Every structure is written in structure tokens, then in C-alpha cells.
Amino acid sequence: PFILTLTLVVEDQVKTHSEANLKYMDLEKKSKTSYAKWFPSVEKEAKEWGELRQRLGSGQSSVVSYFLNITAFCKDNNETALEVEQDILNSFRKNGFELISPRFNHMRNFLTCLPFMAGKGLFKQLKEAGVVQRAESFNVANLMPLVADNPLTPAGLLAPTYRNQLAFIDIFFRGMNNTNYNMAVCGTSGAGKTGLIQPLIRSVLDSG
């Protein structure tokens, strides 16, 4: 058994916008000097910060401080604990996430799993420990531990979801709240348009 939690705080929009402006102007200036010859990535960074400041200025996005934590429970045995720890680290590393084992900070991390504990000074401790990361709100939202997908309809064409869970497609189901039943399917030759539409039509006909 395990507990996966994501604690996040949306930073002040005005401060982050000012920070993005300063960062962009600094990188933009460096990208036009010999500095860019030694560090070619500076041009890409300047472009990214420029796009970020536009999204922050228009209110389309925000900068979020977040702490991702996974607490696992196992037998009180050093070998078992080490095995479980390595399984977790390797699983996340395989998907591009490098986790850090909380040496002598297990209680602190466990307290973050409890509701409203982060606001009582705990998030400040996490920042001081250097385990809090920053990202755009869109990226952090994709880290939220949501493991269930919308099954769409109770019956219809069986289709896997993004997380390989079961879902059904029935465009005539009243719960979908469709205002009309027109649809368009686009794809390259051989992409599977016919393989999608024919079973969909068959499922509608079979339902009567």
C-alpha cells in the first residue's frame, strides 16, 4: 500500500510576472552576445521565458510551487524497506522522474499527506529543505494523482482511455448532453478511421 500526494501553492501572479520579465530580458541580451556561442541553449531559454511572461501577463497560466511525495508501507524490515524503496525510485525514474529518498525526514513527509497540514508551516520547512519544485500550473496539473478516467457512457463501443482503463462511446447517450449528432473524423491514410467508425455504427445499430 502507498499514499501519493501532491501539495501545491500558486505563487503571486504579479511577482512571477516581474520575475519572468527580468529573466527574459537578461537571457534575450545574452543571446545576442558571444555568450550564446558558449551556451547555445540560452536562445531557447529566452524564447521559453518570453512565452511564459506572455501567458502570465494575460492570466492564462500561473507559476506553482509543488511538492510530490509518495509514502509506502511495508514490513518493519530493513531489506524489505530497501527493496520497496528501490522499486519506487526505479519506477519513477523509468518515466523521467528522479525522486529523492527522505533520509531522517519520513515523519515530515508523512505529515504532508494529512489535510491542511502544509499551511501550518510545513510547506515552509519543505522549501527550506530544497524539496519544493516550480512549474507552470498546466504541468503541475498533469502530476495530480488522479487514477480514474471518465467512463463516458454505461454502454456502447468499448474503447481504452489514456490510462488504459475501460470506457464506452455512445454519441446518442442522453447523459453526454450532445446538442447534435454530427461528427467529423480526420486522419491520414491507414490511420484507422474506418476501423473506428464501422464498430461505432455497429454498436449504435445493435443497441436498437
Count of helices and strands (H, E) across the chain: 8, 5
Q: Quote the radius of gyration of the chain (alpha carbons, Å).
A: 24
pLDDT tens for 160-201 read 877 677 888 888 888 878 888 788 889 898 888 888 888 888
Which of the 8 DSSP states describes residue 11? P
d(CA 159, CA 155): 11
- Percent of the chain having pLDDT more than 90? 26
Q: Is the pTM of this model over 0.85?
A: no
* pLDDT band, residue 64 (cuts 50/70/90): very high
pLDDT of residue 26: 92
Written as one letter, the residue type at 13 is Q
Structure-block grid coordinates of residue 113:
499527506
Beta pairing partners, 189: none
Contacts of 3 (CB under 8 A, 6+ apart): 70, 71, 113
Which of the 8 DSSP states describes residue 89? H
Do the Cβ atoms of 20 and 53 come closer than 8 Å?
Answer: yes
Q: What is the mean pLDDT of the chain?
A: 86
pLDDT of residue 18: 93
pLDDT of residue 14: 92
pLDDT at residue 205 above 90?
Answer: no
Dihedral pair phi/psi, residue 84, rounded to 5°:
-65, -40
pLDDT at residue 99 above 80?
Answer: yes
Helix residue ranges per DSSP H, 32-77:
35-38, 41-58
pLDDT tens for 124-151 read 888 888 889 999 998 888 888 776 677 7
